[in-house]
Structures are given as C-alpha cells and as structure tokens.
Amino acid sequence: MTQEQLAETLFDSLRNKVMVLPDDVIVYPAHGAGSACGKNMSKETFDSLGHQKQTNYALRANMTRAEFVKEVTTGLLPPPAYFPLNVALNKEGYDSIDDVLKRGTHALPPREFEVAANETGALVLDTREAQTFAKGFVPNSINIGIDGSFAPWVGALIPDVKQELLIVADPGREAEVVTRLARVGYDNCLGYLAGGFEAWKNAGMEVDTIRSIDADELAAIVQKNPKAKVFDVRKNSEYASEHIANAVNTPLDFINESMLAIPREEQAFVHCAGGYRSLIFASVLRARGYDNLVEVKGGFKAIKDSGKFEVTDYVCPTTLK
C-alpha cells in the first residue's frame, strides 16, 4: 500500500472506531514526540479523547478525506531502514522477551567483552550520557544515550535489526537497555560489559576519548580563525529556522551522506541542539577513522545563549538534505 492509501485507512479508523468513543476515554501514545512514526506529536504521555478532538490537527470534525491525506502525508520523512524489518518480525514471529533478556544480560568481564567484540563483529553500543562517554569509552563504540531519543536513533543508525550488539551501560541499567532495544526489534544482544566502563578502565584496557569544548571556546577559535569549519547535525528544518552563519548542515539522520562533507585531515567542529546528537555523530565518525572532530557541548542553545555568534536563517547552498 502507498502512504496515501495507508492514510485513507487511518482516516476511516479514526472516524469510525476512535472518534465515536466518549470524550472521557483516555488516550496513550504508542510513541512520543520526535518519533519517526508520526508528525506534530505532543509530548504528553496521556490525554483525553475529547481534548485531542479539540487540539489534534488530524481529528478536525469537518476534515475531508482528501484534506486528511494531504495533511498527514505532507512533510513525512522516509521511514527508518529498520521499519520493514520490524514488519517482517511482527509477521514471522520473534524470540520471547525472557530469552532476549537472558541472552542480553549476560555479564562479560572486560577481557571477554573485548574477545567477543573482536571475534563476532558485534557493534559496541555505549548508552551512557553523552559527556560521560566523551571523557572515555571503549574504542570503536558508538554512543546513543539511554536517556534521550534512544530507540529512534538506534533504528535510524543501525538499519539491521539482526545486528549483533554488545552493551556498555551505567551499572544497574543493563536490563533496561536490552528491554528497550527489544521493543523496536533489536533482539540480538550478546551481553554487556560487567562493571561498566570503570571496570574496563581499571583493567588497563585501551581507552579512547572525544574532545569536547564549550561555546566560549568555539567562539575564541572562530574569532582567531574565521575559516574554521563548523558543522550543524540538526535536522534540515531546525537548521533552516536559525543557525550559525557559515555553518554547514550535515544532518545526523543522513549520516552516510553527511560524513562526506567532514574533512578527515583537519580539525572540524560539530554541534546539534543540546549535545545529544552531536556526540552520536562524533562517535560514529570516530569509529570510522575521523580523528579530528571536536564536539561542542550544550549545542546550538549554548552557542546562541553565549551571544558571541552571528545567527541567521539564510540557508547555505551547500546544505546537505
């Protein structure tokens, strides 16, 4: 079915099955704001159907089928690559959550963890907070923090739901990580680093870092060198709204294309809105051999609040979409 046909089916479901229910029925979202599953989704974790009828653009009583289809489908981005694989899992079946948890919460001491990473081709996924990760991490691991938009970014950046994963997490949160991965179809966790990153470091294992600077440091660098390369990894729509003059938009959503604009041999600076996505971006590129990327902590908010940068809504012709 095309997205237009799916939208027509959704129109019928909403009008004939949902909107006929009493206004005091409580509605819970399947996913939250920022999800790739929809657009203009509110941040609330529940609401009444009556209030949704008053405020939700898709539930206007006088909306025609054609208007609904146009409004729902306009501006939708392509679905993450893992979506079709999730559909296949839902049709064909998947492992029980008990089996997934038993496998994924297998504790691996540092040496065993290293052997598993080297011999299986598993991706090392570090789910700690971004700045904590930047100060020290297992080489070639990527950072997607559990306390951010975790599942959507896992789905966007790890297209194969069957990818083997090894987890680095804050001690005590390993089962939470495995469970949240399983909810979006990533069932192939081989285990986690016992004792967390501190155990890895205390075992004398190799450690990598990513340099992270604040907005004031970036301002001093740019003032000294106006040609310093600054990359904005927010979505194209965020960048178009406002951005640092001369910054190039390299969205995290399209990292395989975006990375082509990043120089390997010279220093470059990368930021997002608040620091979550820029560390994801920097960690992925670091694992791919980019050694000169510097992350700006606090992101565009800190940059703008510093008052030391020219901010514009002019869209640079070199913007990557």
Residue 24: the pLDDT is 97
Which among 282, 270, 276, 287 has a CA at the least distance from the CA of 127?
Answer: 276
Residue 96: the pLDDT is 78
172 pLDDT more than 90: yes
Residue 50 lies in a domain: yes
Tell whether 87 and 197 lie within a shared domain: yes
Cα(283)–Cα(149) distance, integer angstroms: 16
Residue 99: the pLDDT is 81
Backbone phi, psi, residue 244, to 5°: -70, 135
Longest dimension (CA), the chain: 66
pLDDT, tens digit (0-9, with 9 covering 90-100), for 71-91: 988 877 777 666 776 777 677
CB atoms within 10 A of CB 143: 27
Amino acid in the structure at residue 312: T
185 pLDDT more than 60: yes
Tell whether 122 and 193 lie within a shared domain: yes
pLDDT, tens digit (0-9, with 9 covering 90-100), for 131-144: 999 999 999 999 99
- 300, 234 Cβ separation under 8 angstroms: yes
Residue 321: the pLDDT is 44
Residue 47 lies in a domain: yes
pLDDT, tens digit (0-9, with 9 covering 90-100), for 88-141: 767 777 777 888 788 889 999 999 999 999 999 899 999 999 999 999 999 999
Which among 278, 276, 229 has a CA at the least distance from the CA of 251?
Answer: 278
Residue 123 three-state SS: strand
Residue 24 three-state SS: coil
319 pLDDT more than 60: no
What count of Cα atoms within 13 Å lies in the side-chain half-sphere of residue 128?
A: 22
Tell whether 63 and 173 lie within a shared domain: no
Average pLDDT over residues 144-148: 95
Tell whether 180 and 283 lie within a shared domain: no
What percent of the chain is modeled with pLDDT above 90?
70
- 212, 133 Cβ separation under 8 angstroms: no
211 pLDDT more than 70: yes
38 pLDDT more than 80: no
Tell whether 97 and 189 lie within a shared domain: yes
Residue 223 lies in a domain: yes
Residue 147 lies in a domain: yes
Tell whether 90 and 198 lie within a shared domain: yes
Query: In the numeric block, which tokens belong to residue 93?
Result: 């079946």
- 121, 164 Cβ separation under 8 angstroms: yes
Average pLDDT over residues 172-193: 93
Tell whether 119 and 185 lie within a shared domain: yes
Residue 320 lies in a domain: no
Among 43, 73, 103, residue at a domain's last position:
73
Q: What is the CATH number of the domain that holds 290?
A: 3.40.250.10
Entry pTM? 0.79
Range of the domain at 42: 3-73
Q: Based on the structure, what is the number of domains in the chain?
A: 3
Residue 165 three-state SS: strand
pLDDT, tens digit (0-9, with 9 covering 90-100), for 41-74: 777 889 999 999 999 989 998 999 999 999 988 8
Tell whether 173 and 195 lie within a shared domain: yes
Orientation of helix 215-224 relative to helix 299-306, angle to 10° = 70
Tell whether 95 and 136 lie within a shared domain: yes
182 pLDDT more than 80: yes
Tell whether 88 and 171 lie within a shared domain: yes
Tell whether 225 and 289 lie within a shared domain: yes
Q: Which residue's structure tokens are 């640092």?
A: 244
Residue 207 lies in a domain: no
Residue 241 lies in a domain: yes
318 pLDDT more than 70: no
Pure H helices in 236-288: 236-241, 255-258, 276-287
Residue 275: the pLDDT is 95
Length of the chain: 321
Tell whether 183 and 283 lie within a shared domain: no
Residue 42: the pLDDT is 75
Q: What integer best gives the mean pLDDT of the chain? A: 90
Backbone phi, psi, residue 307, to 5°: 70, 15
Judged on CB neighbours under 10 Å (0-12, 13-18, 19+), 240 is middle
Which value, in Å, is the radius of gyration of the alpha carbons in the chain?
A: 22
Residue 36: the pLDDT is 61
Residue 183 lies in a domain: yes
Cα(255)–Cα(268) distance, integer angstroms: 16
Cα(59)–Cα(36) distance, integer angstroms: 20
